[in-house]
Amino acid sequence: MKFGVVISEGPYTHEAADTAYHFVKAAIAKGHEVPRVFFYHDGVNVSTRLSVPPQDERHIQNNWTALAKEHDIDLVVCIAAAQRRGLLDQNEAERQGKDANNIAEGFRISGLGQLIEMGIQTDRLVMFGD
């Protein structure tokens, strides 16, 4: 089965990004496909490469980057939600005249159309949030 996953709460404050991570790993281990994960609302904050949690804690962004690389998962960050919250890739930083960018490897910024498309193209859409 093809699963689409949405993460709609921020890292560390909320467990959504962790639960989704365990769900995606388990689904793939069972032979399912997870072609895309979409980050929305505060979930976009997972994609910052400037996160530095204490060493004895899980690193949520690194976990996602590694999982995406291993299983070729498309990690999409909503552009409108990201820009509100100060998350920019290099292109957007240049376009908006900002002096830095902070999107981690494996994530890409794109539009909400990617969320709808995921709903159309997958068998089940699973949302992790409040």
Partner 1 sequence: MPDVKKFLYVNRKAPYGTIYALESLEVVLIGAAFEQDVSLAFLDDGVFQLTKGQNTEGIGVKNFSPTFRALGDYEVTKLFVERESLEERGLTEADLQEITYEDEDDDWAEKPSIRVVSRAEMAEIMADQDVVLSF
**Binding-site ranges for partner 1 (CB under 8 A):** 6, 8, 40-41, 80-81, 111-113, 115-117, 119-121, 125, 127, 129
H helices present in 41-108, as ranges: 60-71, 79-84, 90-95
Cα gap 40→108, rounded to integer Å: 13
Q: How far is the CB of 125 from partner 1 (least distance, A)?
A: 5
Q: CB 123 → partner 1: shortest distance, Å?
A: 8
Structure token pair of residue 12 = 């560390």
16 contacts 126 by C-beta, under 8 angstroms: no
Query: Residue 43 is which amino acid?
Result: G
Catalytic residue among 5, 17, 73, 78: 78
Q: Please list the alpha-helical segments (H only) found in 1-128.
A: 16-29, 60-71, 79-84, 90-95, 113-121
6 or 103: CB nearest partner 1? 6
Output 85 or 104, the one with its CB closest to partner 1: 85
Looking at the Cβ atoms of 92 and 117, the one nearer to partner 1 is 117
Is 99 catalytic? The answer is no
Catalytic residues: 78
